[in-house]
Amino acid sequence: MKKLTDYMAEELSSAFEKAGYDPSYGKVGVSNRPDLCEYQCNGAMAGAKAYKKAPFMIADDVVANLADSKVFSMKEMVKPGFINLKVSEEFLADYLKEMEKDEKLGADTAKEPKTIVIDYGGPNVAKPLHVGHLRSAIIGESIKRIGRFVGHKVIGDVHLGDWGLQMGLIITELKHRQPELVYFDDSFTGEYPTEAPFTISELEEIYPCASGKSKEDEAYRQEALEATHLLQQGKPGYMALWNHIMNVSVTDLKRNYANLNVSFDLWKKESDAQPYIPDMVEMMKEKGFAYQDQGALVVDVKEDTDTKEIPPCMLLKSDGASLYTTTDLATIVERMKLFHPDEILYVVDKRQELHFIQVFRCARKTGLVEDDTKLSFLGFGTMNGKDGKPFKTREGGVMRLENLIADIDEEMFNKIVENRSVRDKDAKDTAKIVGLAAIKYGDLSNQATKDYIFDVDRFTSFEGNTGPYILYTIVRIKSILNRYVEAGGNLEAGELLKASNGSEKNLMLQLSGFGSMIESAFEEKAPHKICAYIYEVSNAFNSFYHETKILSEENQAQKESYIRLLQLTKRVLETSIDLLGFEAPDKM
């Protein structure tokens, strides 16, 4: 389905051409002076130099050729040569009727669908999810949903950290605490137990304890390094423990991600990339890409155009151990083999930018990806507390994600109970739905690359640019539609008529921009554009609601038109929040 701005640009381009000017000057944009006009064309200003003519003269010629246009109700030249435009109410109503029929509400489906792998998890197993994992999860989830909505095949991968020193630390601490376990008996040849020798709570206590010891006790650290090495060599008892750690930890991770309404197609791990490392490293040696530098194996990735030093990409340490760089490169090999993606997108903390510059350049230089495979890095900013520093607990520690969610849910529950809008037995469920919207919208409404302040009081407010405000708008629409049906109204009756007042036309104009917004949000990997859009739609709807008697309208055709407009508004808002990864309750 064509966008409203496409229709306008066609009209303007044709008018420029009829007047003897290049049709490429017929670009149309939203006016930054809505008090004067809705849209504006500045092509006459751009063409003045080429045609050695005053801009207002060119604009006058163009406007004269728009006299019979059915798209515009107002088209006027304003000196020094702007063309101010207003859309015809009839044309706008007809456009929204087409939107109503379109499953995608006017958003284009990709003509050449791409396969895109998104890496947007990255938690380490055996550690609880904390607030530092929030942004990757919800930004990545939203981009995945937007990509699928516009027709691409998008594969989400959690990419667990499961193969580093933390595993050796956990195994070492378990050995110190329970040396009698069969996993540490080298003479044991039977079947290892199916039940893990620890719970998730115990596991989450063991790791920080072991980590603390390793920083103070060098012998303990060396023992953990040796345990890590033996695990990576496939020592049976350690592999059995590793499987227990994975099962217990991943079960808990899945539960926590489900609470965020975040899901992954793949639960791949660093260890899955291990089999690809030997051949990859050997290839880089044979082709002369990799060389020894102070005992380590590295690949140069600096380029002549670099304005700052880009260190070599290290493949293996002097002791032969692999690094994050190695497993990230091997993971690219695995992804190319399994999915042959057109793009691999990493949604990761922006402080890891140098790491990914090295990885991407190394992958390209050594031919791990094809020339047309896109490697993208979306580096997000930090989630900070009101003090402007990374978000912490009151005690100064890193806050667990499930504790943050519980705090937000409690805040929303108290507000809902205060409003007395939902019965007590439903209030807790509603608080969870609204609480998730508060968290996700609070984060996603900020440009991903920027740091932002996580302000619980502001994010849980029912007023202003917040998730609860958007949901409250949807719930208000649901309430009106329910009352209409209860009074005997038929939601399928009637059709959209042209706007009856200014606030209705403004709402219709906002709705018409859905397709353009979605296209832009996907191309720029920018969920914040959806947030900005639905905030404007919500404001436009609430202005229309306050200025218009919808259910008490006496003209039946007009009332039915209002109801059609409400249904379209609800669809646009609900589709948008689904792309952001949350939903609306029936009542608030």
- What would the mean pLDDT of 79-92 be, rounded to a whole number? 97
Sequence letter at residue 87: V
Q: Where in the chain is the domain with CATH 3.30.1360.70?
A: 4-87
Sign (positive or negative) of CA dihedral 573, 467, 435, 428: negative
- What would the mean pLDDT of 320-334 be, rounded to a whole number? 93
Cα 534 to Cα 426: distance, rounded to the nearest angstrom: 26
360: nearest Cα among 345, 341, 348: 345
Question: Residue 163 has what pLDDT?
Answer: 81
Please, which pLDDT band fits residue 424 given cuts at 50, 70 and 90?
low
Sequence letter at residue 7: Y
Cβ 480 vs Cβ 586: under 8 Å: no
Question: 29-30 and 39-41 as β-strands: parallel, antiparallel, unpaired?
Answer: antiparallel
H or E element that contains 186: none
Residue 421 pLDDT exceeds 80: no
Share of the chain above pLDDT 70, in %: 99
Question: Residue 400 has what pLDDT?
Answer: 87
Cβ 175 vs Cβ 483: under 8 Å: no
524: nearest Cα among 127, 263, 150: 150
Question: Residue 16 has what pLDDT?
Answer: 98
What DSSP designation does 84 have? E
Residue 257 pLDDT exceeds 80: yes
165: nearest Cα among 254, 118, 231, 114: 231
Residue 46 pLDDT exceeds 70: yes
Helix spans in 287-423 (H): 324-339, 353-365, 401-419
Question: Residue 490 has what pLDDT?
Answer: 96
Cβ 412 vs Cβ 434: under 8 Å: yes
Q: What is the DSSP string of 533-571?
A: HHHHHHHHHHHHHHH---TT-S-HHHHHHHHHHHHHHHH
- What would the mean pLDDT of 182-188 be, rounded to a whole number? 95
Let me know if 1 is exposed, middle or buried by CB neighbors in 10 A (0-12, 13-18, 19+). Answer: middle
377: nearest Cα among 361, 391, 401: 361
Cα 561 to Cα 35: distance, rounded to the nearest angstrom: 26
Residue 398 pLDDT exceeds 80: no
The model's pLDDT over 4-44, given as tens digits with 9 standing for 90+, comes to 999 999 999 999 999 999 999 999 999 988 889 999 999 99
CB 234: neighbour CB atoms within 10 A?
A: 9
Please, which pLDDT band fits residue 386 given cuts at 50, 70 and 90?
confident
| Tokens read off for 445 | 């409404």
Please, which pLDDT band fits residue 47 given cuts at 50, 70 and 90?
very high
Question: Residue 38 has what pLDDT?
Answer: 96
| Tokens read off for 320 | 């032969």
Cα 487 to Cα 477: distance, rounded to the nearest angstrom: 16
**pTM for the whole structure:** 0.94
Residue 435 pLDDT exceeds 90: yes
| Tokens read off for 392 | 């912490």
Question: Residue 287 has what pLDDT?
Answer: 97
Mean pLDDT of all residues belonging to the chain: 95
Cα–Cα distance list, 278 to 87, 281, 292, 505 (Å): 63, 5, 16, 64
Domain 119-161+267-384 has CATH 3.40.640.10: no
Residue 312 pLDDT exceeds 90: yes
203: nearest Cα among 162, 236, 237, 144: 162
Residue 180 pLDDT exceeds 90: yes
Please, which pLDDT band fits residue 276 given cuts at 50, 70 and 90?
very high
The model's pLDDT over 110-119, given as tens digits with 9 standing for 90+, comes to 999 999 999 9
The model's pLDDT over 490-501, given as tens digits with 9 standing for 90+, comes to 999 999 999 999
Cα 262 to Cα 580: distance, rounded to the nearest angstrom: 10
Cα 382 to Cα 392: distance, rounded to the nearest angstrom: 12
CATH node for 4-87: 3.30.1360.70
Question: 115-119 and 153-157 as β-strands: parallel, antiparallel, unpaired?
Answer: parallel
Sign (positive or negative) of CA dihedral 48, 43, 11, 36: negative
Cα 240 to Cα 234: distance, rounded to the nearest angstrom: 10
Residue 232 pLDDT exceeds 90: no
Question: Residue 578 has what pLDDT?
Answer: 98
Q: What is the DSSP string of 226-286?
A: HHHHHHHTT-HHHHHHHHHHHHHHHHHHHHHHHHTT---SB--BGGGGGGGHHHHHHHHHH
Please, which pLDDT band fits residue 438 given cuts at 50, 70 and 90?
very high
Beta strands in 25-66 (DSSP E): 29-30, 39-41
Residue 288 pLDDT exceeds 80: yes
Residue 374 pLDDT exceeds 70: yes
Question: Residue 391 has what pLDDT?
Answer: 83
Question: Residue 321 has what pLDDT?
Answer: 80
The model's pLDDT over 106-144, given as tens digits with 9 standing for 90+, comes to 999 999 999 999 999 889 898 888 888 999 999 999 999
Please, which pLDDT band fits residue 396 given cuts at 50, 70 and 90?
low
Residue 434 pLDDT exceeds 80: yes
CB 485: neighbour CB atoms within 10 A?
A: 12
- Counting Cα atoms < 13 Å in the Cβ hemisphere of 226 gives 9
Q: Where in the chain is the domain with CATH 3.40.50.620?
A: 119-161+267-384
167: nearest Cα among 243, 109, 95: 243
Question: Residue 549 has what pLDDT?
Answer: 94
Residue 411 pLDDT exceeds 70: yes
Residue 234 pLDDT exceeds 70: yes
